[in-house]
């Protein structure tokens, strides 16, 4: 059996378009509903931490600062 071909990761523009499509479609409808419970600054910080977690893994997040233990 021949080896399976590896998929290439989508280019950044395609990834951004896919994320926008997912958020617009209601698959994440709760996401938009929950945004109103926090300030714009809190939501921006949460998005930044989420992106940091996704790109850098668990070690990239400063957990002590996040839980205000510093």
Torsion angle (degrees, nearest 10) of CA 27, 28, 33, 39: -160
3-state DSSP percent of the chain in helix, strand and coil, to 5: 65, 0, 35
Give the pLDDT score at 38. Answer: 86
pLDDT of residue 13: 81
Instruction: Tell whether the model's pLDDT for residue 65 goes beyond 70.
Output: yes
Q: What is the pLDDT of residue 27?
A: 58
In this prediction the pTM is 0.47
pLDDT in tens, 17-63: 877 777 666 656 677 777 788 888 988 888 888 888 888 888 888 88
| C-alpha span between 17 and 14 (Å, rounded) | 5
């Amino acid at each position: 059996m021949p080896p399976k071909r590896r998929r290439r990761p989508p280019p950044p523009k395609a990834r951004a378009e896919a994320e926008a499509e997912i958020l617009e479609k209601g698959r994440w409808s709760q996401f938009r509903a929950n945004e109103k419970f926090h300030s714009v600054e809190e939501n921006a910080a949460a998005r930044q931490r989420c992106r940091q977690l996704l790109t850098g893994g668990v070690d990239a997040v400063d957990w002590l600062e996040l839980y205000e233990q510093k």
